[in-house]
A and B are shown apart, each in its own frame.
Chain A
Amino acid sequence: METLDRKLLRDVGQSWHMLLAVSAIIAVGIGCFVGMLSAARNLEYARSSYYSSCRLADFWLDLKKAPAEEIKRLAMVPGISEIRERIQFHVLLDLAETEKPIGAMVISMPDEEEPVINNIIIRTGTYFTHGRANEVIISEKFAKARNIMPGDSIPAILNNQRKELIVVGTAISAEFVYMVSPGSMIDDPGSYGLMYIKRSFAEDTFGFNGACNSVVGLLAPEARQEAERIVNSLSDRLESYGVFVALPRAEQFSPMILDGEMTQLKNMAYIFPSFFLVVAALLLNVLMIRLAEQQRTVIGTLKAIGYENRVLMIHFLKFAATAGLAGGIFGCLFGYWLAGVTTKMYVEYFTFPKLTNSFYPDLLLAGLSVSIFFSMLGTLKGIRHIMRLEPAEAMRPAAPPIGGVVFLEKIRLFWQNLDVQWQMILRGLLRNKGRTAVAVFSAAMGSSIVVLTFGFVDSMDEMVCLQFERLLRSDYHLTFRNEMSFSTFDEIRRLPGIIHAEPVLIVPCTFQVRNHSKRGAIMGIVRKGELTNPTNEKGDIIPLPSAGLLMSSRLMKRLEISPGDSVDVLPVKGERRTLTLPVVQGVSSMVGLMVYAEYDWLNHVLGSERMINEVHVLAAHGDTEKKELMNKVRTMPGLEVLTDLGEQKQALNSQLDRAMRSSAVIMILFAAVIFFGAILNGTLIAISERRREMATFRTMGYFEGEVANLFLRENMVTNVVGTLIGLPLGYWMLIGSMQMFVTDAYSFPAKLDAVSYGYTLGLAVLFVLLSQGIVRRTLRKQNWVEALSLKE
């Protein structure tokens, strides 16, 4: 081994504490980088094989009812390579063990197994047999959650008739990698199922002989870029059959959510780690400058005896590279583990035939390269010191540090009231500006991550609160397939256990403004109602106008309109004439792109009698009352979906509890690594630099604790200042990330409670106090006598 390398090893051995502090920060950064990218790739691989084996559609159209033969002819349309038509309905199941009816979606499949678009993969049992008409294949997740097995029978209410369905198998489909029940925000596998039934049985049961209401299709490869255009022209063409939904794959719920998740994961894989890597590079710079100063004469001597700058540069680069290499290796291991944990979490949310964590050598290599790159970045300033150092110059003693008055001293009243120790600390901090700035910056980064974390939790709590305590106050929503007369509402109002009920009319339609158009629905709710209260982003309730629309601000943005403008509305059902309606005000809409109107006014502009297709109710919570109510509800003709908001809120809360709080703990631990790493790195450097000063204090009769206190105060100052800077920084990051999460399906509020600022500051102080333990241990191990006689 070359002698210089031996020196390197010993230098590393002497400063391993500081290198370790830096490596730990690098390791977290690289771990997140490798972990998130690996997880994204796990998803990507699982997705591509799943989509192709199920032959996932390129577009979806939901219709009222259309002749199957005519739909099949759409395969001739240029750009379309294959079409499948099917029958699908929301239904209620009449399971004995549940109090309330459980919802499900039935989808027709060919009687004989064939590789259709949006095919299913059988997981247990078999495909349909020739035996019975009423065979059903149910989604695996639902089967597991409800403990249903092939051979069991499920009573279901299909088209107002109670029918027994015989389960022959369980299956999964790429169409529903992610699924939530209608009107819900999260997946609750037991509360909503998928049921595949024979095409012939569906035709008979729903009166759909030779007809269909769902179209899925594949596009020719060269037409995929134009998916949006083709889908729009298809939906125009089918307009007369009543088109509820027409979406290309990119906007279909499950593919969109999955896509969004992967995009976010990849974005985060670049954004989040950069915090850690930048802090690490800065800390390494401080360390390298210190090393260069400490080894001034050594460097000068080596230069004098004939070492080239290049050789010395490589020597010091290697020193920094040890931190990068160690951080990179631990980071890769950590990243692999993190990818495993993340992937396991995805297995819970997403349904794939196989989603496992794999080893990606190229990502590990990338992680290693990034960490070494950042460690090299961390040597830049120190290396410049070293390169610039002239050997003749290095032989002369270093110029004594600049003295002089710091600006704080000019504020006499303040300065004179400080004790000597504070004066010493503040002077030191202000004279070592670069180093102080790095300490403050690190604390700011650490605290912004903590604030961001608290912000996520606060925002989710706020979201649940806005959604279930402001916007939706009902216990249940009863949704009907078709419009019902007002007498149905009266009937429901008089059911046992109903405390209060409000009629709702939902009008699926297309909104059109100039060249923008978007499919959606208008929800007619009663004025001065109690159960549905549209709010603005801040959560203030917006009163419902007697005429005109309250529209989701996001939809207004998409249509490029502002309050006071009009929008063309083309209802999907009924008389198909365009209505021009005024938009009165924007409202917040966390789930979907909601549009509200006054119930009677909406009926009036549609030119219809008072119609309903949804009823919102408050119900008594007693067990017997609930049971009685549910018994009546389950046999209500035309009822398609029963939404239990209480249960939804509970499920949402428990899922957030599990997912959010555990990832919050991890994020705060990551932030702690930054705090500890920066504090220890800085303090250990300061100790090594000021050994003689400390030794002098000790000989003067200072206690070890008093000497340690100097460092404690110094760290308090830099970390409290840094944390205060990090607070608004974290809030901005919160707003930024909430904007990143916005899709057509969801948008969440950014909310940060005032106490969260307090908690963050408290945590920062706690981190400083905890790291003081290590500082004191290091001080205890110093040999003061040696330090006094040391000639540096």
Chain B
Amino acid sequence: MTNSPILMKLENVHRTFQVGEIAVHVLRGVDLDIYAGELLIIQGESGSGKSTLMNMIGGIDQPSQGTISFEEQDISKLGDRRLTMFRRDQVGFVFQFYNLVPTLSALENVATATEIADKPMDPAEALDLVGLSDRINHFPAQLSGGEQQRVAMARAIAKHPKLMLCDEPTGALDHENTIMILELLQKINHETGTTMVMITHAQAMTGMANRIALIADGIIDKVSINSAPVLAKELVW
């Protein structure tokens, strides 16, 4: 995959949080390239800054220092409006706790994304892709965790994002549901060529990635390349 064009480039990215008097220096110079179409897994200990990094890749946070470019355009200093447009057009998010709107049905939750996107899928089609066509009118409270996460995925893919970001997407799920979600992610990655960045604690999942980046002490400590990714259902747990 390293011969694919570079989709995103992070150079010397720092992020500091001010907590009262104390400055917490979480990222201290991250350099990372993300290639178009790859599946990149980010690993690191709890509190090492994985989510912080992912937030900056997705444009819901900005670095204290350094640059992040997407298709050669610097997004690290964009104003709120342009940054919002970047997220709206390019990024699909999948969160650990699904983050669905509880008062909207599955279909309506997907519609929240498609309504503001440029050439989106039909929300029903997106739900069909994640295998929920018989649940479209259910509300989040009436869905299992795995089903809720699939709705969240439908919401993310429905706008045809170039980049999909998943922060521990299976962190709250059992084994069976985990496999199902991973298979879906992989299918999307393969069939649509959507670039995927995923955070996980599960060592087993690294088997399906093209590359694995390890964060430690605020920098990318190591990037390993997996020359032969396997299918999700073939992962060894």
Contacts and interface: CB of A to CB of B under 8 A. Distances in A.
- The residue in B84, B92, B97, B104 that gathers the most chain A C-beta atoms within 10 A of its C-beta is B84
B80 interface: yes
A308 interface: yes
A4 B108 CA distance: 9
A306 B84 contact: yes
26 contacts: A3-B108, A3-B112, A7-B103, A7-B112, A10-B104, A11-B103, A298-B99, A298-B102, A301-B93, A301-B100, A303-B84, A304-B58, A305-B92, A306-B84, A306-B88, A306-B113, A306-B116, A306-B117, A309-B80, A390-B60, A392-B55, A392-B60, A392-B61, A395-B51, A395-B60, A395-B95
Interface in B62-106: 80-81, 84-85, 87-89, 91-93, 95, 97, 99-104
A297 interface: yes
B111 interface: yes
B155 interface: yes
Given A7-B101, A10-B103, A307 B55 contact: no
B88 A305 contact: yes
A777 interface: no
Contact of B60 (A3, A6, A304): A304
A410 interface: no
Contact of B104 (A7, A307, A390, A395): A7
A677 interface: no
Contact of A305 (B52, B87, B104): B87
The 7 closest A-B pairs by CB, nearest first: A306-B88, A10-B103, A391-B60, A392-B61, A301-B99, A3-B111, A392-B55
A300 B60 CA distance: 9
B53 to A, nearest CB: 11
Given A3-B108, A297-B99, A392-B61, A305 B155 contact: yes
A579 interface: no
A692 to B, nearest CB: 15
A302 B102 CA distance: 13
Contacts of B100: 301
Contacts of A308: 81, 84
B93 to A, nearest CB: 5
Contacts of B116: 305-307, 311
Interface in A298-331: 298, 300-309, 311
A14 interface: yes
A7 to B, nearest CB: 5
Contacts of A297: 97, 99
Nearest to B172: A791
A293 to B, nearest CB: 14
A575 interface: no
Interface residues of A, number: 26
B115 interface: yes
Interface string A383-404: 0000000111001000000000
A609 interface: no
Interface string A2-45: 11101100110010000000000000000000000000000000
Contacts of A11: 103
Nearest to B165: A304
A791 B140 CA distance: 12
Contact of A301 (B81, B84, B91, B95): B95
A306 B87 contact: yes
B121 to A, nearest CB: 14
Nearest to B87: A306
Nearest to B101: A298
Given A305-B93, A306-B116, 18 more contacts: A2-B115, A3-B112, A6-B108, A7-B101, A300-B99, A301-B95, A301-B99, A302-B112, A303-B84, A305-B88, A305-B113, A306-B85, A306-B117, A307-B84, A392-B52, A392-B55, A395-B60, A791-B97
Contacts of B95: 301, 395
Contacts of A391: 55, 60-61
Contacts of B155: 305
Interface in B136-190: 155-156, 167
A398 to B, nearest CB: 13
Interface string A655-687: 000000000000000000000000000000000
A3 B60 CA distance: 22
Contacts of B52: 392
A297 B117 CA distance: 21
B99 to A, nearest CB: 4
A14 B97 CA distance: 23
Interface in B1-23: none
A235 B96 CA distance: 92
Nearest to A786: B141
B106 to A, nearest CB: 12
Give the most central of A6, A306, A308, A311: most B CB within 10 Å.
A306
Nearest to B80: A309
Nearest to A301: B99
Contact of A3 (B84, B97, B115): B115
Nearest to B55: A392
Contacts of B55: 391-392, 395
A305 B51 contact: no
A791 to B, nearest CB: 7
A298 B85 CA distance: 19
A345 B51 CA distance: 70
Q: Which of B100, B103, B117, B155 has the most chain A CB atoms closer than 10 A to its own CB?
A: B103
Nearest to B61: A392
B89 A306 contact: yes
Contacts of B101: 7, 298, 301-302
A421 to B, nearest CB: 31
Contact of A303 (B60, B103, B115, B117): B60
A309 B156 CA distance: 20
Interface in A280-297: 297
Interface in B108-125: 108, 111-113, 115-117
A128 to B, nearest CB: 79
A6 B88 CA distance: 20
A113 B182 CA distance: 102
A4 B111 CA distance: 9
B80 to A, nearest CB: 7
Contacts of B99: 297-298, 300-301, 395
A14 B84 contact: no
Nearest to B111: A3
Interface in A386-429: 390-392, 395
A311 B80 CA distance: 13
Contacts of A300: 99
A302 B88 CA distance: 10
Contacts of B104: 3, 6-7, 10
